[in-house]
Amino acid sequence: MPSTSALDASSSSNSASRDEASACPAALVSSRRTPSDHVAVLSRAWPVRNGFARRDSARGLRRGYRRPVTFDQHAAAATGSSHDSVPQRVVTVIQHAEDIPLDRFAEWLEDGVQVRVVRVDLGEAVPASAAEVGDGLVVLGGERSAYDDAEWPWLPSTRELLASAARSGVPTLAICLGAQLLAVAGGGRVQVAAPPGVEAGPVAVRWRPEAASDPLLGRLVAASPTGAVLPSLHGDSVVELPAGAVWLGSSSMYPFQSFRWGSAWGVQFHPEASPATVGHWARQTPGVDADAVEAELVAVDEEVLASGRLLAEAFVAVVLAGELAGARTAP
C-alpha cells in the first residue's frame, strides 16, 4: 500500500496549494434547480472560515436540506408499503452542517428507504451505537479535519458510531470527511493538508481487483470496468487504512479513494455532488480555478450523474438486503 512518502511525490493538474486544508467543504444546493437558481443561491455572501464558506441559514432551499425525520424504530418496523408487508428500511444520515447536505443523494436514497437526518451541528445527539441507526448509516463530509474535536465536539462520538456500525454488520457509507473519520475510527491515519494539495473537480477513480466483487461498488465496476469519473474537492487524505480493510479504488493523486472496513465503506470522492455544488466549494478554496472545475464537471456530468445514482442505488440494495453478517471482519 502506498505510504505517506508516496504522497509527497504525487501531483495532478487539478490540484492547488493551500495554507490550511479542509477535509471536505460542501454547499447546500438542489439537484432540481435550474442554473439561474444555483447562481442566485450561491451568490449570497457566506462567512468564510478556514478558507471555506459556511452559511448560518439556508431556509429558502427546499431540496438540499431535509428536515430530520423523527425516528421510532418500533413504529418504523410496523410500517409497510401499500403493496406488501415488508417494513420500510431506515437509514440514518449524520449531517455536520446545514450547508453540507445529501444533495443529489436525498432523492436517490428516498426512492428506496426512509431517511432520518441527524443534525449534530444543531445539538442533535449522535446515536450511541449502531443499534440506534436503523438499517443503514451515512456520514457526510465537512469542512473540519477528522481530528478537529475541539471545534466539532461530536466527532469522537461519530468515530465511535462508525466503528460500532463497521463491527456490527450495519451497511454504512462514509463520504469525504466521513471516510476519513472511518479510517481513524479503525486505527488508520489521516494527513491534514496532505502534500499533493487540493484534489478538485472530476477525478478518475481506478478500481482495484477487489472492487469487482464488492457488494457496493460491484455495480459501478460492471458499468465502468476501467474506472469512473467522480467529483472531488478535498485536501486532507487517508494515508493509512485500518487493519483488515479492503482497498478498493485509487486516483493518480491520492491512493485511498475507496475502501471497506467491516460493513462500512469509505469514499474520498463525492458521489452525491452536482457540478454547481462542487463549483461553489471551489469558489471558497484558495488557489483553485473554480470556473474551470465547474466547467469540467458540467462536461462530464452525464457520466458523473449515472455513477452517483448507481452507487446510491447499490447502497439502498445493500440496506434492503439486511445487515452484512459476512462483513463483520472489522477488528
| E strand residue ranges, 183-257 | 189-191, 198-207, 228-234, 237-240, 246-250
pLDDT tens digits, 115-141: 999 999 999 999 999 999 999 999 999
Question: Rounded to two decimals, what is the model's pTM?
Answer: 0.77
Rounded Cα–Cα distance for residues 107 and 103 (Å): 8
pLDDT of residue 97: 83
CA distances to 130, 164, 206, 208, 222 from 226, in Å: 34, 33, 6, 9, 9
Indicate if the pLDDT at residue 182 is higher than 90: yes
pLDDT of residue 75: 35
How far is the first Cα of the chain from the last one, in angstroms, to the nearest whole number? 19
pLDDT of residue 35: 34
Cell 426512492 -> residue: 111
Q: Where are the domains of the chain?
A: 4-327
CATH class of 4-327: alpha beta
Per-residue cell: 244: 483488515
Indicate if the pLDDT at residue 155 is higher than 90: yes
pLDDT of residue 322: 87
Q: Which of 24-33, 142-151, 233-242 has the lowest mean pLDDT?
A: 24-33
CB 263 within 8 A of CB 168: yes
Indicate if the pLDDT at residue 63 is higher than 60: no
**Helix or strand holding residue 295 (H, E):** helix 290-299
Rounded Cα–Cα distance for residues 24 and 238 (Å): 12
pLDDT of residue 24: 59
Instruction: Collect all residues with Cβ–Cβ distance below 8 Å to 181 and sequence separation of at least 6.
Output: 139, 146, 155, 158, 159, 162, 174
Share of the chain above pLDDT 90, in %: 65
pLDDT of residue 77: 36
Rounded Cα–Cα distance for residues 185 and 281 (Å): 26
Indicate if the pLDDT at residue 220 is higher than 50: yes
pLDDT of residue 90: 97
pLDDT tens digits, 251-307: 999 999 999 999 999 999 999 999 998 988 898 889 999 999 999 999 999 999 999
Res. 86 pLDDT band, cuts 50 70 90: low
